Amino acid sequence: MTTRERAPLGAPCWVDLWTSDPERSRHFYSSLFGWEAGEANPDFGGYFMFNRNGNPIAGAMGDMGDMSADNTWKPYFSAENVDITLERAGAQGGIVLFPTAKIADLGSQAVIADPSGAVTGIWQGDSFHGFSAIHEHGTPSFIAIDVPNYESEIAFYRSVFTWDPEEEEVDGHHYAGFMDKDSSRPIAGIGDEIENLAPGEAPHWTVFWQVDDVDAAVATVQELGGSVRMAPANRGLGRVALVADPCGAQFKLFSPGRPSSD
């Protein structure tokens, strides 16, 4: 378990869900993780937060005007200055999807696509710095992406978000982990196992939500109308399953400490 006041610069600090059915999503995630769903804020387009033990853990919103929700989870990386980070991203081949916007007194945000096309948020916190708990049940443990252009992806995150990842090569595959200095565990990772992508699926960041029991959580996902895309298996750092909520938003369930392979 790690509790923090704010994420290190460049680290994942927030995640939110763009859902086509906010009410169903409210019920699904509250039932799965024991979260409390806050009220939708009309001043922010109906955006609402999920809370865990009274503290914000994730955000969500539905369609934005004529823009239909694509049912995806999006991570945000902590930045000291959003505008400077956007300049770096553009210089390294990123594309600005949404320019800097001030969000009341909470902070400033922007959204980019990295060179692989993966959508990434940038957050400069003022009064709000994102989730404060990681590496325990119902919290984000880490996020990860697999890309065909591993070296350029690493170079992008080094330059834009000042990553200094630990890299390794195992069985011909490469992996770079952005490590949590307090726990020595990865909080973000980039790999080149593109066989993990479905045919025609573009690279994208995946949130690994930590749970006490992956198999039990998978059963709950199915009971709540979600689906299983990859059955529970022991992989790398622990037991993992790929699932989707009833609207199709994919994420992984993760429990550490079981490093052998099935």
Q: Which domain CATH number covers 173?
A: 3.10.180.10
Residues 85, 194, single domain; the answer is no
Residues 111, 141, single domain; the answer is no
Which pLDDT band, with edges at 50, 70 and 90, does 191 fall under?
Answer: very high
State the residue range of the domain holding 170: 133-256
Q: Report the alpha-carbon distance of residue 240 to residue 207 in Å, rounded.
A: 12
Query: Rounded to a whole number, what is the distance in angstroms from the first to the last CA of the chain?
Result: 26
Which pLDDT band, with edges at 50, 70 and 90, does 171 fall under?
Answer: confident
Residues 138, 121, single domain; the answer is no
Q: Report the alpha-carbon distance of residue 77 to residue 57 in Å, rounded.
A: 15
Helices then strands, each counted (H, E), the chain: 4, 18
Residues 78, 161, single domain; the answer is no
Question: Of 125, 157, 179, which one is at a domain's C-terminal end?
Answer: 125
Could you tell me the CA-to-CA distances from 255 to 60, 145, 149, 206 in Å, in that order?
24, 18, 29, 15
Let me know: does 141 contact 208? Beta carbons within 8 Å. Answer: yes
Q: Which phi and psi angles does 231 have, rounded to 5°?
A: -60, 155
Residues 208, 119, single domain; the answer is no
Q: Report the alpha-carbon distance of residue 31 to residue 248 in Å, rounded.
A: 17
Residues 110, 145, single domain; the answer is no
pLDDT of res. 98: 96
pTM for the model stands at 0.94
The top-scoring range by mean pLDDT among 39-48, 203-212, 230-239 is: 203-212
Residues 157, 102, single domain; the answer is no
Residue 2 included in any domain? no
Could you tell me the CA-to-CA distances from 28 to 25, 136, 153, 168 in Å, in that order?
5, 19, 33, 37
Residues 53, 12, single domain; the answer is yes
Question: Of 103, 125, 147, which one is at a domain's C-terminal end?
Answer: 125
Domain total for the chain? 2
Q: Is the pLDDT of residue 94 over 60?
A: yes
pLDDT of res. 1: 52
